[in-house]
Amino acid sequence: MQKYFISHENLEALVIDGDDAFHITKVMRSKIGDKILVSDQNKTYLASIKSLDFNKVTFEIIDEKTGNMELPVFVSIFQGYPKGEKLDDIIKHGTELGVYEFYPTLMKRSVFKLEEKKKESKLVRFNKIAKEASEQSYRTYIPKVVDIIELKKIDFSKFDYKIYCYEESAKEFEKSNFKNIISNLKPNDKVAIVIGPEGGIDSSEVEYLNKLGFIPCGLGPRILRTETAVFYCMSAISYEMELLK
């Protein structure tokens, strides 16, 4: 069943408009009576379509959906800006896996050079990917792609735990820092995870992060690509906190 995030006002008015109305009528080719999920990022309802127009769909609420879909901790991903379209996949799959917010981060070894005038349109695009992935994965909350920012301009003061994924740690078979931290997380903890771009984290950045109290973590003995590291971290946090023995 397709889920749609709508504004609180539209939820009160039982109306879907804009791109989502187009999606329901033209892409999904829904019919009157078809069931959808609607959410204002606070509550989620099972709803039935009452009327269809390509720019306005109305619905009635059948039932409230309960059940927590969100990770019990807030994970912020500071992803070294990678090459090509990799960030699309990182945001898409990271959203499915429960990321709270993303900061595409400009680091020493990022090949990507930000043109300031393109920043807004990039952020709009990334946030659209996050919205669609949230709908697909039935999340309650849409993660924000907050800003494209230089590593040294980020304020990390709000975090309870700060880690960075470090290839050199993996090479030295460092295998306890990540699990030590993740297995001790408590609900509502705020976790910052820094992941380098393709070339890894530069030594001056490592020094900077260490000074800020970041912990270097190996993610097993194999060397992971930058996009795989975020999948590993998020999957492990879900496995640790959301699954039961």
138 is a site residue for its own copies (CB under 8 A): yes
Amino acid at 230: V
Min dist CB 214 to its own copies, Å, is 18
Measured distance CA(205)–CA(154) in Å, rounded = 13
- Shortest Cβ 46–its own copies spacing (Å): 12
Backbone φ/ψ region at 241: left (φ over 0), alpha (ψ -120 to 50), beta: alpha
| 245 makes contact with its own copies (CB under 8 A) | yes
Phi/psi for 243 (5° steps) reads -100, 155
136 binds its own copies (CB under 8 A): yes
Q: How far is the CB of 98 from its own copies (least distance, A)?
A: 6
- Name residues contacting its own copies, limited to 59-78 (CB under 8 A): 67-69
| Residue showing tokens 């981060």 | 105
225 is a site residue for its own copies (CB under 8 A): yes
* Minimum distance, C-beta of residue 40 to its own copies, in the bound complex (Å): 18
Q: Is 239 in the site for its own copies (CB under 8 A)?
A: yes
Residues in the chain: 245
- The region of 26-34, 107-115, 135-143, 200-208 touching its own copies under the rule CB under 8 A is 135-143
Contact status: 173 vs its own copies (CB under 8 A): yes
Distance from the Cα of residue 219 to its chain's centroid: 20
Alpha helices in the chain (DSSP H): 8-13, 18-22, 86-96, 116-136, 167-171, 177-182, 203-211, 226-242
Task: Please work out the total of residues on this chain that contact its own copies, with binding judged by CB under 8 A.
Answer: 44
Strand 56-65 and strand 44-53: the pairing is: antiparallel
Q: SS3 for 107?
A: coil
Alpha-carbon gap, residue 21 to 6, rounded angstroms: 10
Based on CB atoms, which residue is closest to its own copies, 154 or 215? 215
113 makes contact with its own copies (CB under 8 A): no
**And the tokens for 39?**
């959410």
- Asked whether position 227 contacts its own copies by CB under 8 A, the answer is yes
Q: From the CB of 67, what's the least distance to its own copies, in Å? A: 6
- List residues binding its own copies (CB under 8 A): 67-69, 89, 92-93, 96-98, 136-139, 171, 173, 175-176, 178-180, 182-183, 218-225, 227-228, 231-233, 235-236, 238-240, 242-245
